[in-house]
Chains A and B, each alone.
Chain A
């Protein structure tokens, strides 16, 4: 069965510092990978997704992620964070061509940006 691990439940960082949010997945088949952001009291917004092709994926708000098949990782990075990036971030995986289109989520990482 597929699973997604986000090792860090909370990541504190100072404004303008770089940040990396870690995501590892387990799957025996090809997968699609996603990062979603949830701002306080809001729904989920897609940051970026990896379907195929280039392993470096660029998303909205200056975020990017790198797909590493050998390490089964899809870490999210931003070179310089802002206070407004404070939110919860979820990594998710979906079967490539699976029958159910199910998104399996990690437990989330709260990014807390401090001035």
Chain B
């Protein structure tokens, strides 16, 4: 089954403790992206990657890092999480055309 898999689904952590949210896709898509969803703000892009070793900032990149060492994986790293990063996070992938996005099931992160 074609899918984007995120882990974990739920995470509660403390301020300053580094964490990684994993994202993996099995569709051989070139393009991958991370979004955060906040009430009243919709989804905002954090980082994206057009292909292996090619990443760039989205609209809200502060406090996040990403890497794209393999085509299928695109982890989101929070080096020093803060409470304002409490949010629902989605990973997405699409072919180069950008016409067919597949979203993961989401990761609900709480930073206390």
Selected contact of B40 from candidates A9, A36, A44, A45, CB within 8 Å: A9
Contact of A105 among B42, B48, B97 (CB under 8 A): B42
Contact-size category for B: 20 to 34
Residues of B contacting A36 in the complex (Cβ-Cβ under 8 angstroms): 103
- Mostly, the B contact residues are strand
Complex-state Cα separation, A33 to B86, whole angstroms: 29
Known: A106-B42, A108-B42. 10 other contacts (CB 8 A): A4-B42, A9-B40, A32-B98, A32-B99, A43-B103, A44-B90, A46-B101, A101-B48, A101-B96, A102-B33
Interface residues of B (CB under 8 A from A): 31, 33, 35, 40-45, 48, 50, 56, 58, 90, 92, 94, 96-99, 101, 103-106
Query: How far apart are the CA atoms of A4 and B58 in the complex, in Å?
Result: 16
Q: Which residue of A lies closest to B105 (CB)?
A: A43
For residue B40, which residues in chain A have a CB less than 8 angstroms away from its CB?
Answer: 9, 107
Interface flag for A90 (CB, 8 Å): yes
Q: Is the CB of B105 within 8 A of A90?
A: no
Q: For the complex, what is the distance from the CA of A32 to the CA of B48, rounded to whole Å? A: 18
Query: Which of A32, A49, A98, A107 neighbours the largest number of chain B CB atoms within 10 Å of its CB?
Result: A107
User: In the complex, A107 Cα to B37 Cα: how many Å?
Assistant: 9
For A103, give the chain B residue with the smallest CB separation.
B101
* A101 and B90 contact, CB distance less than 8 A: no
**Cβ-defined contact, A100 with B105, below 8 A:** no
User: Given A101-B31, A105-B42, is A44 in contact with B99 using a C-beta cutoff of 8 Å?
Assistant: no
10 closest Cβ pairs, A-B complex = A101-B98, A107-B42, A105-B42, A44-B103, A105-B43, A43-B105, A43-B103, A101-B31, A43-B106, A108-B42
Residues of A within 8 A of B90 (CB): 43-44
Within 8 A of B (CB), among A1-32: 4, 6, 9, 32
Establish whether residues B41 and A107, one from each chain, have CB atoms under 8 Å apart when the complex forms: yes
> In the complex, which of the residues B45, B94, B105 contacts A42, with contact meaning CB atoms closer than 8 Å?
B105
Chain A residue contacts of B96, Cβ below 8 A: 101
Q: Tell me, yes or no, whether A94 is within 8 Å of chain B by CB.
A: yes
Any B CB within 8 A of the CB of A51: yes
